[in-house]
Amino acid sequence: MEITGKVIAALEPKGGISKASGNPWKMQDYVIETNEQYPRRMCFNVFGEDKINQFNIQVGEEITVSFDINAREYQGRWFNDIRAWKVERGTPEQQAAPIPTDEVPVVEAPTAPMPTFESEESNDDLPF
């Protein structure tokens, strides 16, 4: 799934040591707001210090976030986890913007006149 909007908040990173493997982990939450007539907000997280540094999400920038949704149960209550796996700068329109024509030279191919084929018989019995 994807959502595009402006980052309005970057929460403090969280971290710890995994009980199962004993490895350190780090996670950071962000809030994005869509640019629709009735804006919607969504809180998503980025897991892993390498991904946090790679995405380098800053408050105020326009981004498109690709994410997965998963739910987990804790003490009889259910919680949604919205985890980003890809972040692109700008809106989809800006990402797919065509190359300006002043940067690409335009070369026109020479045109030759079309040959005409005339038969000796001018009777054309074709229905079209």
Q: Over the chain (128 residues), what is each successive 10-residue block's mean pLDDT?
A: 96 93 95 96 96 96 97 95 94 58 57 58 61
What integer pLDDT is reported at residue 90 of this predicted model? 79
Three-class SS state of 117: coil
pLDDT of residue 88: 96
Given a contact cutoff of 8 angstroms between Cβ atoms, the answer to whether 66 and 43 are in contact is no
Domains annotated on the chain, with CATH: 2-95 (2.40.50.140)
Cα 111 from chain centre: 42
User: What pLDDT does residue 127 have?
Assistant: 66
pLDDT at 110: 61
Q: The pTM is what?
A: 0.69
